[in-house]
Protein backbone atom coordinates (compact mmCIF):
# COMPACT_ATOMS: atom_id res chain seq x y z
CA UNK A 1 0.00 0.00 0.00
CA UNK A 2 1.04 3.58 -0.61
CA UNK A 3 0.01 6.30 1.82
CA UNK A 4 -0.93 9.55 0.06
CA UNK A 5 -1.94 12.54 2.19
CA UNK A 6 -2.83 10.11 4.97
CA UNK A 7 -4.94 7.70 2.88
CA UNK A 8 -3.70 4.16 2.07
CA UNK A 9 -4.08 3.42 -1.63
CA UNK A 10 -3.50 0.19 -3.59
CA UNK A 11 -1.31 1.75 -6.30
CA UNK A 12 2.03 -0.03 -5.81
CA UNK A 13 3.85 -0.28 -9.17
CA UNK A 14 2.23 2.75 -10.75
CA UNK A 15 4.39 5.77 -11.50
CA UNK A 16 3.75 9.00 -9.68
CA UNK A 17 2.65 10.55 -13.00
CA UNK A 18 0.14 7.71 -13.55
CA UNK A 19 -1.32 8.22 -10.08
CA UNK A 20 -1.53 12.01 -10.48
CA UNK A 21 -3.34 11.60 -13.80
CA UNK A 22 -6.20 9.92 -11.91
CA UNK A 23 -6.61 12.95 -9.62
CA UNK A 24 -7.62 16.59 -9.95
CA UNK A 25 -4.14 17.87 -9.10
CA UNK A 26 -2.62 20.37 -11.55
CA UNK A 27 0.96 19.14 -11.93
CA UNK A 28 2.19 22.69 -12.52
CA UNK A 29 0.89 23.79 -9.10
CA UNK A 30 2.07 21.06 -6.77
CA UNK A 31 5.11 19.73 -4.97
CA UNK A 32 5.33 16.04 -4.05
CA UNK A 33 7.10 14.86 -0.93
CA UNK A 34 8.05 11.19 -0.83
CA UNK A 35 9.53 9.65 2.32
CA UNK A 36 10.98 12.99 3.41
CA UNK A 37 12.30 14.30 0.08
CA UNK A 38 10.76 16.37 -2.71
CA UNK A 39 10.46 14.43 -5.98
CA UNK A 40 11.88 16.43 -8.93
CA UNK A 41 9.07 17.28 -11.36
CA UNK A 42 11.09 15.86 -14.24
CA UNK A 43 11.04 12.46 -12.51
CA UNK A 44 7.28 12.03 -11.95
CA UNK A 45 7.11 9.78 -15.02
CA UNK A 46 9.85 7.42 -13.80
CA UNK A 47 9.13 7.44 -10.06
CA UNK A 48 7.55 4.05 -9.39
CA UNK A 49 5.48 3.87 -6.20
CA UNK A 50 6.66 1.19 -3.79
CA UNK A 51 4.96 -0.64 -0.95
CA UNK A 52 5.23 1.42 2.22
CA UNK A 53 5.89 4.76 0.48
CA UNK A 54 4.54 7.77 2.33
CA UNK A 55 3.65 10.65 0.04
CA UNK A 56 2.28 14.13 0.54
CA UNK A 57 1.04 16.22 -2.35
CA UNK A 58 1.26 19.92 -1.52
CA UNK A 59 -0.88 22.32 -3.57
CA UNK A 60 0.02 25.90 -4.29
CA UNK A 61 -2.71 28.49 -4.72
CA UNK A 62 -2.30 32.04 -5.99
CA UNK A 63 -1.76 35.17 -3.93
CA UNK A 64 1.19 36.91 -2.39
Partner 1 sequence: MIPTKEQWLRALYERHGKERQNAFLSATVAVCGLGGLGSNIAIHLARAGIGKLILIDFDRVDITNLHRQQYKASQIGMYKTEALADNLREIAPYVELEAFTQRITQDNAIKLLASADIICEAFDDAERKAMLTDIVLTQLREKYLVAASGMAGLYDANSIKTRKITSKFYLCGDEESDVSDGIGLVSARVALCAAHQAIAVLRILAKQFEI
Q: Return residues touching partner 1 (CB under 8 A).
A: 28-31, 33, 36-41, 56, 58-64
* Residue 21 CB, nearest approach to partner 1 (Å): 17
Provide CB contacts within 8 A for 2, sequence distance 6+.
Answer: 8, 9, 10, 11, 12, 19, 49, 50, 51, 52, 53, 54, 55
* Residue 25 CB, nearest approach to partner 1 (Å): 11
* Residue 49 CB, nearest approach to partner 1 (Å): 18
| 14/41 with CB nearer partner 1 | 41
CB 26 within 8 A of CB 45: no
Amino acid sequence: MVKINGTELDIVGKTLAEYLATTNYDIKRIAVERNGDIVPKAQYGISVLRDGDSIEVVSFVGGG
